[in-house]
Amino acid sequence: MTVDERKTMSNMTNVVQNIILENREKLNITGVLDVLSFDDQIVILETELGLLTVKGENIRINKLSLDTSEVTVDGEISQLSYSEKEKMEKGGGGLLGKIFK
């Protein structure tokens, strides 16, 4: 999906997602639907705009509120990446797809 298609989809559904990273140590995310997986090096979140993977060292979920769709992650954050929900469900290339092969 292109950036323009995602913007159009976001405008049609009124989806707003904020990601605030403070000093690569504290990450605040809104628009979170579920936490799919987490440990001290990776957190996989289902968001309204796709799957969000957070990688780093000594990562911990400090705040989780699915009622308000907010998550706060603390630790040494080195990478944030999105992937499409469909790719993960089909077992394509992602961490969960590799685990459940």
* Domains, the chain, ordered by start: 3-88 (2.60.40.2000)
The answer to whether the CB of 1 falls within 8 A of the CB of 84 is yes
Stated pTM of the model: 0.72
For the segment 46-64, the average pLDDT, to the nearest whole number, is: 94
Average pLDDT over residues 67-89: 85
Q: What is the pLDDT of residue 94?
A: 54
> Is residue 11 very low, low, confident or very high in pLDDT (cuts 50, 70, 90)?
low
Residue with tokens 């504290």: 26
The answer, yes or no, to whether residue 14 has pLDDT greater than 60, is yes
Percent pLDDT > 90 in the chain is 61
Residue 51, judged by CB atoms within 10 A of its CB (0-12, 13-18, 19+), counts as buried
